[in-house]
Amino acid sequence: MQDNHDLRLTRLEEVNTPVVLVIMDGIGIGAHDESDGVFRAYTPVLDRLMDEPLTARLQAHGTAVGLPTDDDMGNSEVGHNALGAGRVFSQGAKLVNESIQSGEIFNGDAWQAILKKLTAGGALHFIGLVSDGNVHSHLKHLYRLVDAAVSGGAKKIRIHALLDGRDVGPKSALTYIEPLERYCHELRERGCDCQIGSGGGRMVTTMDRYEADWSIVERGWRTHVLGEGRTFASASAAIETYYREDESSTDQYLDPFVVADDNGPVGVIHDGDAVICFNFRGDRAIELSRAFEEDDFDKFDRKRRPEVFYAGMMEYDGDAKIPSHYLVEPPAIDHTLSDYLCANKIRSFAISETQKFGHVTYFWNGNKSGYVDKSLETYMEIGSDKIVFDLRPWMKAAEITDHAVSAIASGNYNFVRLNYANGDMVGHTGNIPAILIAVETVDICLGRLLHAVKKAGGIAIITADHGNADCMFTEKNSVRTPMVAHTKNPVPFIIQDFSSRQGLKMSDVTNPGLANVAATITRLLGLAPPAQFAASLIRIDNAAQ
């Protein structure tokens, strides 16, 4: 945390009632048609709130959250960064693009160490999400890294391809894998033994987060590192087989696969190799990094831990220094809202279930683990169900609401923030009945929460980090395709004021986005927003200035 004297804010008025921020993850403002799950769901609470005078539509994608272009969908990581930082920083994909374009990525210590491994005869392994979803990774980054490795002398390259189907089309894997296989073939003809070595759907192989289910990482370890599992002649053959065996299967849940030839698995990771996780987003890359790096690792039996040089695309956890080596420097996010609130003795409570707990803590606090000031903050994690989310679309919303209501009623906190994961996690499944239940669950819980805020004489802010449930399918030539990715739709911003405060009005902010929320919270807490924050969305006409 920064020195407190840098973070002290002017108090404009005394505020003794709580400010409660509700992040309805994945609930945007859609087309208000049959494809719009938020519109179709029965949401009397949200419908009423949208007619309130203190409302706005916020941009939650593209340049508004630090992504390269406005063609880029938002995501929970950058959304919570913007919400918690109060301003926009260049984020994952943009940082990687800039580093590749400048050549900085190839001049860094990590890349040079990798080249040394290759000249000593080691193989280079790439593990990551093979798609152009641009949320966790981008396929063009993989191609650029492979090209650079070949130019640097790599003679053996293996790609361990995690299948998306979540930030892109649900059954789009072959559109990425088949060109990648052709590219590998071209490299082999040029003298570099490059092959896809293994893979699997991202939700069952490797990409767990927040320690929700270490068996996912163990499955990836056995597949990528040890070469254990069902074997196929190629990655495309594996995908085609899984599709044929279960027509309802989607990429994100496809079983792991191992590519093998007459001599056995082709992608086993050995001592002396180098490994790059080319995902740039941290939450689903931390656990794999720990499995490679920790000496006293005890989450599962690794059987064999090869002595390799391991690097992430980025530093996935700045506080815990995971991983030890990385290719691109992460954004340096300082002076977050939590820093300011703690320096000004504002007491906070943050809660979500496991799937989004790191978003209201780690990402909210500028990619920093742990508390800013434990004497002023309480963080509560509700364990997520280890089940496909459309089978239990209510998730842990009721339990989150129970604890949030208690926190509000206790009078111990000035600021409460919570995340309902339903709209996003169930939205990713493409299951329409489940999505409607998920949205309706959030609405029911929102009604309970508002009752508690009203009883406490507080102020509620309702918003979202990006869209998802607001578009459940696309339609072309009367054929519907499930839409399981995030949307680029705006998200609601609603203030429900139950305090005795007078003169609360919306400010005239041009093109408001998620970064404007932090200054709004600061102002509602009676503090002057810091100068570097994006403008507040509200003004208080009769407040002392």
- Which residues belong to the active site? 76
Report the alpha-carbon distance of residue 436 to residue 38 in Å, rounded.
Answer: 7
Q: How many residues does the chain have?
A: 545
Q: How far is Cα 177 from Cα 254, in angstroms, rounded to an integer?
A: 14
Strand-pairing partners, residue 540, are 504
What are the residues whose beta carbons fall under 8 Å from the beta carbon of 537, sequence distance 6 or more?
Answer: 56, 493, 506, 507, 509, 512, 516, 517, 519, 520
Q: Which residues contact 458 (CB under 8 A, 6 or more apart)?
A: 17, 18, 19, 20, 408, 498, 499
Q: Which two tokens stand for residue 515?
A: 């970064």
Question: How many of the other CB atoms lie within 10 Å of CB of 498?
Answer: 19
Contact 227, 257 (CB under 8 A): no
CA angle 147, 151, 153 (to 5 degrees): 120
- Per the structure block, which two tokens stand in for 293? 């790096």
Query: How far lies 481's CA from each of 123, 171, 172, 236, 476, in Å?
Result: 40, 10, 11, 22, 8
* 3-class SS of residue 480: strand
CA 144 remoteness from chain centre:
24
Region class of 487: left (phi > 0), else alpha (psi between -120 and 50), else beta: beta
For residue 1, give the amino acid letter.
Answer: M
- Look up tokens 């009945």; give the residue: 433
Q: Please, where are the H alpha helices in 281-431?
A: 286-293, 337-343, 354-358, 397-410, 422-425
* Residue 369 buriedness (CB in 10 A; 0-12 / 13-18 / 19+): middle
Residue found by looking up tokens 């969305």 in the block: 537
Q: 52 to each of 433, 443, 469, how far by Cα in Å? A: 29, 16, 22
- Relative to beta strand 274-277, strand 309-314 is parallel
